[in-house]
Amino acid sequence: MKLISVIITAYNEEEYLLECLKSVQQQTYNILEIIFVDDGSNDHTLDIVNQFKDNTSLPIKIITGEHKGLANARNKGLEVAKGDYIKFLDGDDTLHPKALEKMLRTALRCQADVVKTSYNVLNRYYNFKNAFNVMNNHPYKGINISEHKDFIVLESVGMGNKLYKREILDGIYFPHFSNPLVPLDLAISPFILAKSNIIGVTGKNLVNFRNHADSLRNREKSDSTSYLNSLEALTYLENLFKEEDLYEDYKTTLNKLNLVYRFMDSINLIFKNNYPVSIKIAIFKRLQSLCYNTIKESLNNPQFYQNEYVWWYSIFSKIYSSLVKTLKTSETNEDLISEIKELHLKR
Quick: pLDDT tens for 10-47. 999 999 999 999 999 999 999 999 999 999 999 999 99
Instruction: Assess if residue 270 is contained within a domain.
Output: no
Quick: pLDDT tens for 204-216. 889 999 876 555 5
Instruction: Assess if residue 306 is contained within a domain.
Output: no
Instruction: Assess if residue 275 is contained within a domain.
Output: no
Beta strand residue intervals within the chain, DSSP E: 4-10, 32-38, 60-64, 85-90, 94-95, 114-122, 127-129, 142-144, 162-165, 198-210
Q: The domain containing residue 203 runs over which residues?
A: 4-222+229-254
Q: Exposure of 332 by Cβ count < 10 A (0-12 exposed, 13-18 middle, 19+ buried)?
A: middle
Instruction: Assess if residue 280 is contained within a domain.
Output: no
pLDDT of residue 148: 84
Contact 295, 313 (CB under 8 A): yes
Instruction: Assess if residue 276 is contained within a domain.
Output: no
Quick: pLDDT tens for 271-319. 666 667 676 667 666 665 555 554 444 444 444 444 444 444 555 555 5
Instruction: Assess if residue 83 is contained within a domain.
Output: yes
Query: Can you give the CATH number for the domain in which 206 is found?
Result: 3.90.550.10
Q: How confident is the model at residue 71 (pLDDT cuts 50, 70, 90)?
A: very high
Counting the structural domains of the chain, the total is 1
Instruction: Assess if residue 174 is contained within a domain.
Output: yes
Instruction: Assess if residue 81 is contained within a domain.
Output: yes
